[in-house]
Amino acid sequence: MAIGFELHRVELNRTYRMHVTQQKVGGSAFINSRSVFIRIDLKEGRYVIIPTTFDPGLEGDFLLRTFTDVPSDCRELTLHEPPQTCWSGLCGYPSLVTQVHILQATGIAGQDSDGASDPYVIIRCEGEKVRSPVHKDTRSPDFDTKGLFYRKKSNQPISIEIYNHNVLMDSFLGQVTLPGEQGHFQQTLHLRGKGDRRDNDLPGTLTVAVLSSSVLTNI
C-alpha cells in the first residue's frame, strides 16, 4: 500500500476537523513502504497533518510521530462540529461558521525609534479572540493569520484590531469592523480609531478575506 501525508496550515483556533482543502504547506511523495518521513521548516502557526493513501478510499491503521524543536501541543481532531448538549436549547447553538483570514496590512503608523513597528493583529468575534504572532520592524506586515468562529449571533459584527508590541505597554494602531453577513468576500479597509467613526481614520489599510456558511461542516 502506497502511503504519504499532507500538511495544511489552518486557523489558529481550529478545534474541529478540517472539511475542505486549506493552505497546503508540505507533504511527502507516496511510498510503497511501511513508513514515510519528511523534515520541514514551518513558521509559527497551527497545522493539520493528514495521512493519505495513493488509492482513494483505501483505509488502514497508522502510527503518526512528530518531532519538533518547540512545544507543539499535538492533538487529534475527532469532532466535525460543536456538539449538541443539554444546554444548547437554553444557550443556543451556532447557526453560522465564519473563517476570517487577515492577509496583510500596509502603511500602518511607525511607533518605534527606527520609524517602524512590531505589529500584531487580534480578531474578535462573540467573546472569542485570535491573536497573531508579532511581526518585527515593519509597517506593512504579511499577517497571513486565520481565525474560525462558530457563531450564534450571525448579525453581530466582527472586530479586527492592530497593536504595536512594546516592552511596557502595547499601543493601538487601528481597527476595522466587518459585517456579520453570510457570504464570501475580500476587502481592503482603512484603519480607524476606537469607535470606528468615519471621521477618525488612522494611517494604513488592512486586507481581509471572509468565508461564511450556514453549514457548519463547510469549512
Global pTM value: 0.90
Cell digits of residue 27: 507533504
User: In angstroms, rounded to a whole number, what is the distance separating the alpha carbons of residues 174 and 204?
Assistant: 8
Arithmetic mean of pLDDT over the chain: 89
Checking if the pLDDT of 140 tops 90, the result is yes
- The reported pLDDT for the residue numbered 184 is 86
Q: What is the mean pLDDT of residues 117-126?
A: 96
CATH 2.60.40.150 segments of the chain: 93-213
Top-level CATH class of 93-213? mainly beta
Q: What is the mean pLDDT of residues 171-180?
A: 90
**To which H or E segment does residue 88 belong?**
helix 88-91
**To which H or E segment does residue 111 belong?**
none
| Contact partners, residue 128, CB within 8 Å, separation at least 6 | 13, 149
* Residue range 181-209, pLDDT digits in tens: 767 889 999 999 987 555 678 999 999 99
- The reported pLDDT for the residue numbered 148 is 97
Cell digits of residue 109: 503608523
* Residue range 30-84, pLDDT digits in tens: 888 888 888 889 888 999 998 888 888 888 788 888 888 888 888 899 999 999 8
